[in-house]
Amino acid sequence: MATEESVPSTTPVMVPAQSSRSLETRPLMVANPLSGVLADLALANGDEARVALAAAYSARLSRDELVKNIRDLQAQPGTNQNVVLRAMLKQLAAQAPSVALQLALEKDPRADNEGLAAMVAEQWAATDYAGLYDYSRTLPSDRLKYRVGAHAAFAWASRDPDAAFQYFSGLSMQDGGGFIGIAASELAKRDPNAALEALDKIQNDRVWDRAAGKITEIIARKAPEQAVALLFDQDDPKAAAPIANALGAVMAESSAVEGISVLNRLEDSGVAYSFLYGMLGKLRDGDVSDFAANFSQIKNENVRAMAARSVALDVARQDPKEALAWAATLTNDELSRRMAFQGAASGYAANDPQAAARWFETLPQGAERESAIYGFIEQYQWRQPADSANWALKITNAEARQRYLRSVLTNWSRRDADAARTWATQTGNLQFLQTRN
């Protein structure tokens, strides 16, 4: 899938009028030193003028001159330098895209979405997505392979989704099968039935999960009944889980009541949890009031309790008092009430751990206090393991106390083994300190 590198056009570029030091009196020549061009940019009127001036200069340089000037500019950070650098990389990408991308990655090693590497990759993908994808496979890290390869995958899928789907469906996730979601989405937009048929040809379970989720998402937005039917057609819970997750996310956007209705029809608890997590994940940064008002309609007690915990946790990250007040209203559902207090405490600890600790002190002994401590420890042990371990000692349930002590000490010892051992020794809990061999 190699690409032939083309030669850029030498057609003159029109440049907007400049300051008194205009191009009419100082024509732009290849021989001009770079410092002179940067000086012209500094006097140019407006961003459009600077961009046009940089493009005009770049168009007059040979490939070798472009490479030399790019390397010179990379050592000179600044607004004007960046304008010229982008213009030169764009011009070089038309002649030698792999060289341009290599230089861009030297300046933009993380391949940020709005960075130089993304600009070059998009330009390359527009003319030769296959060549860009091959190049992405040679990059040193998985992160770069994915970020650069995604530009090729998007371009490929938008032009020929069927071929892109067939190609990526034959790869493992590590080798690029993760891009199947991009191809699956584009194929489902054009032909949902063809996308569903293509699923049968995927052998890798993780690649299948990714494709099934994306296809379900597209179908659910256009024909929710078809997506629901697809979910209930699955005999294998493992196959149903990614479909349930994607369907739950889409249904959360339209109606919590309808989503909960589908959730109640799911007999396998694992599939039900996948659907629930899809709904809650979509609601996490939005309005959970509709779901919270109707969550009691969830028939499965354990699924309902997990929903209560998640809602309370998300609300508490913004308003702990509101989450705690909501948890206190669940008087007719003891398990959901306890789990809601656990979630609220976890979100409270993330928001203001000191205030959360003071609040614990006001709670009487009982299930609510125990649940709140669980949530506090789960959230806070990573930042303050000593405080979390001390709170774990206050858990009255022996089994739960031992479980949380073991969790805190194990995680603590991975970061500071000496401190964890000292605390465990002094408090007589050395038996819960698990060390790695």
N-terminal to C-terminal alpha carbon distance within the chain? 48
Predicted confidence at residue 53, as pLDDT, reads 83
> Exposure string (b/e) for 149-166, b if CB count within 10 Å is 16 or more?
bbbbbbbbbeebbbebbe
DSSP letter (8 states) at residue 426: H
Spatial CA neighbour of 379 closest among 336, 323, 332, 304: 323
Relative orientation angle of helices 224-232 and 205-222, to the nearest 10 degrees: 150
* Cα–Cα distance for residue pair 262/279, rounded to 1 Å: 11
The position carrying tokens 């699955």 is 234
> Exposure string (b/e) for 118-129, b if CB count within 10 Å is 16 or more?
bbbbebbbeebb
Predicted confidence at residue 43, as pLDDT, reads 72
Check residue 352 and give left, alpha or beta (phi > 0: left; psi -120 to 50: alpha). beta
* Cα–Cα distance for residue pair 209/173, rounded to 1 Å: 11
Distance of CA 258 to the CA centre of its chain: 27
* Cα–Cα distance for residue pair 198/210, rounded to 1 Å: 13
* Cα–Cα distance for residue pair 191/395, rounded to 1 Å: 56
Predicted confidence at residue 79, as pLDDT, reads 63
Q: Where are the alpha helices (DSSP H) in 233-352?
A: 237-254, 256-265, 269-283, 289-294, 301-316, 320-328, 334-351
* pLDDT tens-digit profile, the chain (437 residues): 444 444 333 333 333 333 333 333 344 444 445 776 777 777 777 778 888 888 888 898 899 999 998 998 888 766 667 888 899 999 999 999 999 999 999 988 888 878 999 999 999 999 999 999 999 999 999 999 999 999 999 999 999 999 999 999 999 998 899 999 999 999 999 999 999 999 999 999 999 999 999 999 999 999 999 999 999 999 999 999 999 999 999 999 888 999 999 999 999 999 999 999 999 988 877 778 889 889 899 999 999 999 999 999 988 888 888 998 999 899 899 999 999 999 999 988 888 888 888 887 888 888 888 888 898 898 888 888 999 999 999 999 999 999 999 999 999 998 899 999 999 999 998 888 865 43
Indicate the domain borders of the chain.
Answer: 160-222, 230-299
Asked if 118 and 112 count as a contact pair (C-beta separation under 8 A), the reply is yes
Relative orientation angle of helices 34-43 and 79-95, to the nearest 10 degrees: 120
Predicted confidence at residue 22, as pLDDT, reads 38
* Cα–Cα distance for residue pair 271/277, rounded to 1 Å: 10
Q: Please, what is the Cα angle at 50 between 47 and 53, to 5 degrees? A: 150
Spatial CA neighbour of 298 closest among 270, 264, 348, 347: 264
Round the CA-based radius of gyration of the chain to a whole number and report it: 29
Predicted confidence at residue 304, as pLDDT, reads 95
